[in-house]
Chains A and B, each alone.
Chain A
Amino acid sequence: MSRRGFLAGLGAGLAVAVLPNLADAAGPPKPKATRPAPPTPTGNGLDAHVLVHVALDGAVTIICHRSEMGQGIRSSLPVLIADEMGAEWARVTVQQATGDKKYGDQNTDGSTSVRKQYDEYRKAGAVVRMMLCAAAAKRWKVKPESCTTRDHQVIHVLTKRTVAFADVVADAAKLPVPKKGITLRPFAELERVADPKLPLIDGPGYVTGSAQYGADVVLPGMLTAMIVRPPVVGGKVATYDAARTLAVAGVKKVIEMPVPTKPWLFQPWGGLAVVAENTWAALKGRSVLDVTWDHGENASYNTPAFREEMLQSVRAPGTKLRDLGDIDAAFAKAANIIEAEYTGPHLSHMQMEPLVAVARVQNGTAEVWAPTQNPQQNRTDVAKLLGVKEEAVTIHVTLLGGAFGRKSKSDFVVEAAFLSAQMGAPVRVQWTREDDVKHGYYNAANAQRLRAALDDTGAVIAWHHKTALTPIGGTFDGKTDTPSAGDLQQGVNDVALSAPNVRTEACKAPLHTRVGWFRSVYNIFHAFAVGSFIDEIAHARGADPRDTWLDVIGPARKVSLAELGIPALPNYGEALDKHPVDAGRLRNVITRVTDAANWSNRKGRYLGLAAHRSFVTYTAVVISVVPDAQRVFRIDDAWISMDAGTVINLDRVHSQMEGAVVMGISNALYSGVTMTNGATDQTNYRDSRVARMRDVPRTIHTDIVASTEPPSGVGEPGVPPVGPALANAIFALTGKRLRDMPLANALNV
């Protein structure tokens, strides 16, 4: 397809919306969330907000400035703005933004799109509505407050007079943009926002094959590159011979990629690029490239030994981060002490669309098309590589074929820009699945040790949680080898506990590969350990796991920093008064999910329960397993309850919850990559496994708590409780306590 064709496709098909996925780990280069800049007037309509333009004929363009990766933001964002302004949906075009700081924060990560920008989206629609109302009111000589909008018209409520947007937009454009006194509609008036079956804006494109992802961008004269990257992080090419590669028909050139220097950040990995006329020629050329490697300092990274090292680390004293009461005294007088250790591997994102980017660098400018979560970061990184100003770089965001955090890194985008500059032609860098598995920004590897002291009534009087995880900070500074207090907000320091004596400790786990944000991040393994451990406590004291959960959390209350025993909580970037640690909301989802699952009637059933707060959202999950002759067990049912505050586009929230259950099953049961001499052992879906249809429940019962609390995260918080719920269900069925992920290793499934 020509560039013109592609851009036309973007305008028409790429019109709509999302709920985000990634994480909030305390990794460094997260630029501060920026606010949208004031709009630049176009002179041909109303530009009241940088995300909305009303043309003189009334046509509305809404900018989607966040990336669509399955969460539905290309529907959610535009309907919020359109409903708030009273636009008729048929007259709205959604346009995907390029990476530009004027739009405010575009990093589609950390479950933030709606959580952080809900107010801004509504305000964007509201200022447009107010200006259109003001223009009409002036004409009618009535008060602007006596007018409203609906179906692309301004309405004077009392007299029912109406005027089309098109007839007042020119007048409205001359008015000042209101800065204060911005009034929002009653939530109940947001019709499309509340539509439980809101159509997918890109649905027709998805089912007919016309939706545009990264690899679908075709430019005239475009070449395709495949890169062979160092198998070990920090390694580099020692020797190579390109003769056989250059003899392959269609291969144009072999190019040495720049050697990255520590810290790795978002740099490309180095290696050798085979640039060819098409994908097949590049693949064939790469397969016969003779190369030897200098593996560098990480060639001694071996998973079994490192797992042992992390276990030793959590058995030794760490850095105390949460210290409440006197746990030593409590353990000394305990009637019963429960202890357990849990481990989890590096996880590969395994998004369906392998990394890919298309770049055209010419005349001191660069244009890139990529399925990226973070176009502003890409713009910065490409500008830096080329030594040009950011204004000379345009990052077009295609649809993302899954991302889960992997596409928040710029490495693949910078590769394409580098090679286009080298070739003087447009270049597509296509990663194979194997490249994607072997060169990941994996989730952190982890080991944890938990201890609980119980008194003679079975009450938990002391809680001691130690965690060693390879911190994301190490990818960014090359040094950090111990998780920070910020890292432990994810399911360690923020856990509501009734125990009066609590200690948490961060333990050393030096990083020997690249780690990065993976949907739900550290919450995955912290929730696994805490959720499994509470079940262990329940069985140790012979109590119902649900009752034990409620006992361990304690009564409904907002848990203060003093009660948590910490000086501060990052709280996913949210103020504690707006998004407190609310034990009542966690208890509520536990009650709801267990009621839905008919928990009290467990005779002949094998159920597991777990709950978790993350991204300031509360989620509880029950998984039901049944015996299976061939595969030990089968998951036949799942229930998930979520309290995410105010929710919009309900169907996409339900779908995120369904997807979270499936990804949670993958994480717990199958996933994980291992390292031998620093190189990733796995290659593809055969050995870096994810759930298939047979692995998932017949039904996933999703339950969303109706709430008027501020919106919280949706994309990630469904995942963490799934793993422990599954492990607890397997225990209910088999009596086997599985503490090491992936659980399949111990089950032969």
Chain B
Amino acid sequence: MKITVNGVEKTLDVDPEMPLLWAIRDVLGLTGTKYGCGEALCGACTVHLDGHAVRACVTPVRRAEGKAVTTIEGLSPDGKHPLQQAWLDLRVPQCGFCQAGQIMTAAALLQIKPKPTDAEIDQSMGTNICRCGTYTRIRAAIKKAAGES
């Protein structure tokens, strides 16, 4: 099947039920998307499918056929998306493992709500867990990227 990943068309010969996460990691070798729970509970595997945030761990790869997938590696060509910049400016990450998923969820939020309120941030980001506890900085970084602070 054909899938466009980070702007490049890829042909995949895999079990169509294979979760997109494992296709991205094991087959395409893009390891920025993380496995955290396998059941859409933690958000570490968040990617964009035609611009919408999805949990790659529960999305069968067949659902991505003919669609565009964006992973953290493809969020911006130079790693300087406003969210990535804000994340560095505010030194958000601790262990860093969940942050690709956090940024991808936040990027999808800013697509819909360029100036999200606290409640909208809480709602959207509620799908993503950070066990190190960087939530207050994540909130601040989203606002910074949105030009709200």
Chain A residues engaging chain B, CB cutoff 8 angstroms: 1, 68-72, 197, 199-200, 202-213, 215-216, 218, 224, 249, 278-280, 350-354, 399-404, 430, 432-434, 651, 655-656, 658-663, 666, 684-686, 690-694, 696-700
The CA-CA distance from A71 to B26 in the complex, in Å, is 29
> Looking at chain A's contact residues, is the secondary structure mostly helix, strand, loop, or mixed?
loop
Q: How far is the CB of A553 from chain B (nearest CB, A)?
A: 28
- Is the beta-carbon distance between A684 and B39 smaller than 8 angstroms? yes
Interface-side segment among B48-56, B108-116, B133-141: B133-141
Q: How far is the CB of B57 from chain A (nearest CB, A)?
A: 10
- Is the beta-carbon distance between A663 and B93 smaller than 8 angstroms? no
- Is the beta-carbon distance between A215 and B95 smaller than 8 angstroms? no
Contact (A661, B133) CB under 8 Å given A1-B29, A207-B88: yes
- Is the beta-carbon distance between B41 and A658 smaller than 8 angstroms? no
B75: chain A residues at CB < 8 Å are 208
Closest to B27 in A: A278
Q: Which of A69, A279, A659, A692 contacts B26 (CB 8 A)?
A: A279
Chain B residues engaging chain A, CB cutoff 8 angstroms: 14-15, 18-19, 22, 25-27, 29-39, 41-42, 44, 71-73, 75, 79, 83-84, 87-88, 91, 93-100, 103, 118, 121-122, 125-126, 128-139
- Is the beta-carbon distance between A651 and B91 smaller than 8 angstroms? yes
Closest to A351 in B: B131
B83: chain A residues at CB < 8 Å are 207
A666: chain B residues at CB < 8 Å are 131
The CA-CA distance from A432 to B35 in the complex, in Å, is 9
The CA-CA distance from A72 to B95 in the complex, in Å, is 8
- Is the beta-carbon distance between B79 and A206 smaller than 8 angstroms? no
Contact (A353, B34) CB under 8 Å given A278-B22, A655-B134: yes
B95: chain A residues at CB < 8 Å are 68-70, 351-353, 399-403
- Is the beta-carbon distance between A204 and B88 smaller than 8 angstroms? yes
The CA-CA distance from A351 to B41 in the complex, in Å, is 14
- Is the beta-carbon distance between B72 and A209 smaller than 8 angstroms? yes
Q: How far is the CB of A74 from chain B (nearest CB, A)?
A: 11
Q: How far is the CB of B129 from chain A (nearest CB, A)?
A: 6
12 inter-chain pairs at a CB distance below 8 angstroms, sorted by A residue, are: A72-B94, A199-B91, A204-B79, A207-B103, A208-B72, A212-B31, A280-B26, A433-B37, A433-B38, A659-B132, A685-B129, A699-B136
B138: chain A residues at CB < 8 Å are 693
- Is the beta-carbon distance between B35 and A215 smaller than 8 angstroms? yes
- Is the beta-carbon distance between A352 and B98 smaller than 8 angstroms? yes
- Is the beta-carbon distance between B87 and A207 smaller than 8 angstroms? yes
- Is the beta-carbon distance between B99 and A207 smaller than 8 angstroms? yes
The CA-CA distance from A693 to B87 in the complex, in Å, is 16
A206: chain B residues at CB < 8 Å are 87, 93, 96, 99-100
A210: chain B residues at CB < 8 Å are 32, 73
- Is the beta-carbon distance between A696 and B98 smaller than 8 angstroms? no
- Is the beta-carbon distance between B139 and A693 smaller than 8 angstroms? yes
Contact (A690, B131) CB under 8 Å given A203-B88, A280-B15, A433-B37: yes
Q: How far is the CB of B70 from chain A (nearest CB, A)?
A: 11
The CA-CA distance from A215 to B88 in the complex, in Å, is 24
Q: A207-B99, A352-B36, A662-B133 are in contact. List 18 more A-B contacts (CB 8 A).
A: A200-B88, A203-B87, A207-B79, A207-B87, A207-B88, A209-B33, A209-B73, A210-B73, A278-B22, A352-B129, A353-B36, A401-B95, A401-B98, A661-B133, A685-B39, A686-B41, A690-B131, A693-B138
Q: Which of B39, B88, B126 contacts A692 (CB 8 A)?
A: B126
- Is the beta-carbon distance between B88 and A658 smaller than 8 angstroms? no
Q: How far is the CB of A680 from chain B (nearest CB, A)?
A: 16
A-B pairs with the 7 shortest C-beta distances?
Answer: A209-B32, A662-B133, A401-B97, A70-B94, A70-B95, A206-B96, A209-B72
The CA-CA distance from A402 to B97 in the complex, in Å, is 7
- Is the beta-carbon distance between B129 and A692 smaller than 8 angstroms? yes
B128: chain A residues at CB < 8 Å are 693
The CA-CA distance from A206 to B88 in the complex, in Å, is 9
- Is the beta-carbon distance between B37 and A684 smaller than 8 angstroms? yes
Q: How far is the CB of B8 from chain A (nearest CB, A)?
A: 16
B96: chain A residues at CB < 8 Å are 70, 202, 205-206, 211, 399, 401
